[in-house]
Amino acid sequence: MSKDDKYLRTAFDLLDRNRDGRVTANELQFMLKNLGINVRDEIIHDLIREASHSGNGLINEAEFLQWVGRIQALRDEQQQQHDDSSSTASKPVDEADDVTEDLIAAFRVFDRDGNGFITRDELQTAMEMIGEPLNEQQLEQLLAIADLDQDGRINYEEFTRLLL
């Protein structure tokens, strides 16, 4: 299992609040709202419908991994096109800017003291706040995955790598 797969499986587990192996629109919306990311219900339902092969409004882990893989491929393709373009004309605010703003807002939810780092205690408190309390083992696993420089806390770059 690659490191990316491990991250995605952790993300899926966080979304799957009732641990039934499927993510509903309500579970996705709950997590996003608690991260300070407001998305209209219609968009959430469209995202779920796009990801669910069965059309039942539920996403299993395999569908989730495929769906995120497609999103990452599109993002990489867009980044490549952006890098290839030599145009210096100003561009309108795009979805990447929106994602960045959302990630900063989510990071601030976790970084309670605003020092630019998410500590172990802040991570535990934030996870409880979004309805995903972690036991000691889960907390250690999440920190091991997210804390790339192993300084015992998560900085913004590590946080975004975990989520993207």
- The tens digit of pLDDT for each residue in 10-55 reads 778 888 888 899 999 898 888 777 776 777 888 888 888 888 888 7
CATH (one of 3.40.50.2000, 1.10.238.10, 1.10.260.40, 3.20.20.70) for 96-163 = 1.10.238.10
Question: Which residues make Cβ contacts (< 8 Å) with residue 61, sequence separation at least 6?
Answer: 9, 12, 21
Integer Cα distance of 86 and 104 in angstroms: 28
Q: Are 82 and 138 in contact (CB under 8 A)?
A: no
pLDDT, one tens digit per residue, over 122-163 is 888 888 877 778 899 988 888 888 898 999 999 888 888 877
Give the closest residue to 64 by CA, choosing from 85, 50, 44.
50
**CATH value of 3-74 in 1.20.58.1290, 3.40.50.10860, 1.25.40.10, 1.10.238.10:** 1.10.238.10
| pLDDT of res. 90 | 46
Structural contact between residues 9 and 61, judged by C-beta atoms closer than 8 angstroms: yes
Give the 3-state secondary structure of residue 152: coil
